[in-house]
Copies of this chain bind each other. A is one copy, B any other.
């Protein structure tokens, strides 16, 4: 055994105690004499033993301390969106001190829901978190269920046996909609997040609008409808990125009957619209009002400050972390919904006089 790494048995032998006593010296779960403990620890140091191998512990306890986070293909795409980052940060910050690690499970790009990512099948995890907006026909979800892994879904659709953590984006969208309408706008366009994994780009036809698959754009659109908004156009984007917002802005603002207000479903999209307006020589908000969603801090948009409804991103992560903790204690946490708050910036104002 000279070549391979020492095990608890080696340490126990060196200290002249049994394996079980040596285990007690490290775990502290049980009565042990101080002198014995010191002897074991000394033997461990002498053998260069670096503590109990987590694998052995895990096998016995059935727990790995790993939380799998299914991020879809967001690493490449939406992770350029601070929304995902800040939530992941909140999650990791809550989980880390509890001894849980976050395992990133990336998905292949632009796959239909039937696609199964290999790590979902093979990776060890105690809990899975779906941050990509789960749908019922997701093959990954089916696999997780089969494996008996508890699932937490973030802003997904309500699903059997899945713990939901969401935000009141429908309410928030309605509030934002009423704010814009209250300013007097009548020609309002919407820049939407992707409808489904096809990630199309352009003004959506009524038929297309009827088949929105993903929950987030659907809810936010529904919120605006709740506020009584009948949009003059809904522009579908392939991802929540500045460049797509800019393309949408150019498309919507170039025509003859341009809208007097544009509401985007994310701040990154909204900032792209602001940039498009600037490039077209339009003043914000005098010529066109722009509002976003999420409440990010976008330093490069200065001096403009986006009107937006902000969501508590770090808290969202923390809530997920607490749900994980509850699950591991054997409890079944209920669904949680976080509120949003309207933040009026400098990018919305009354519509132009004529």
A residues with a Cβ closer than 8 A to B are: 5, 48, 50-51, 54-56, 58-59, 62, 64-66, 68, 75-76, 79-80, 82, 85-86, 88-89, 92-93, 96-97, 99, 101-106, 117-119, 121-124, 143, 146-148, 241-243, 246, 271-272, 275, 279, 299-303
A139 to chain B, nearest CB (A): 14
**CB-defined contacts of A146 to chain B, threshold 8 Å:** 48, 50
* Cross-interface CB contact of A118 among B99, B118, B124, B275, cutoff 8 Å: B99
Given contacts A54-B124, A55-B124, whether A119 and B96 have CB atoms under 8 Å apart is yes
Bound-state Cα–Cα, A207 to B51, Å: 42
How far, in whole Å, are A65 and B59 apart by their CA atoms in the complex? 15
Q: Is the CB of B75 within 8 A of A243?
A: no
The 4 closest A-B pairs by CB, nearest first: A243-B299, A102-B104, A75-B89, A92-B106
Q: Are B66 and A92 interface neighbours, CB within 8 A?
A: no
Interface of A is mostly: helix
Task: Assess whether B50 is in contact with A59, with CB atoms less than 8 Å apart.
Answer: no
Cβ–Cβ < 8 Å partners of A117 in chain B: 96
Q: In the assembled complex, which residues on chain B have CB atoms less than 8 Å from the CB atom of A93?
A: 106
B54 and A59 form a contact (CB under 8 A): no
Instruction: Report Cα–Cα, A86/B58, bound state, in Å.
Output: 32
B102 touches A103 (CB 8 A): yes
Cβ-defined contact, A79 with B85, below 8 A = yes
A279 to chain B: which residues have CB within 8 Å? Answer: 302-303
Known contacts A59-B56, A103-B103; A89 and B76 CB within 8 A of each other = yes
CB closest chain-B residue, reference A75: B89
When distances are taken between beta carbons in the complex, the residues of chain B under 8 Å from A86 are 76
Contacts of A62 in B (CB 8 A): 55
**Interchain residue pairs with CB less than 8 A apart (29):** A5-B148, A48-B146, A50-B146, A54-B122, A54-B124, A55-B62, A59-B59, A66-B66, A66-B124, A75-B85, A79-B79, A89-B106, A92-B106, A96-B106, A96-B119, A99-B119, A101-B104, A101-B119, A101-B123, A102-B103, A102-B104, A103-B103, A103-B104, A104-B104, A242-B299, A271-B300, A272-B299, A275-B299, A279-B302
Cα distance, A246 to B105, chains bound together (Å): 35
Q: Give every chain B residue within 8 A of A106 (Cβ-Cβ).
A: 89, 92-93, 96, 102
A82 touches B85 (CB 8 A): no
Q: How many angstroms between the C-alpha atoms of A147 and B6 in the bound complex? A: 11
Q: What B residues does A82 contact at CB under 8 A?
A: 80
Q: A122-B65, A148-B5 are in contact. Are A59 and B55 (CB under 8 A)?
A: yes
Q: A80-B82, A89-B75 known; A124 and B300 CB under 8 Å?
A: no
Q: How far is the CB of A56 from chain B (nearest CB, A)?
A: 7
Q: Are B103 and A51 in contact (CB under 8 A)?
A: no
**Quick one: which of B80, B104, B118 contacts A97, CB cutoff 8 A?**
B118
Question: In the complex, what distance in Å separates the CA atom of A64 from the CA atom of B80?
Answer: 29
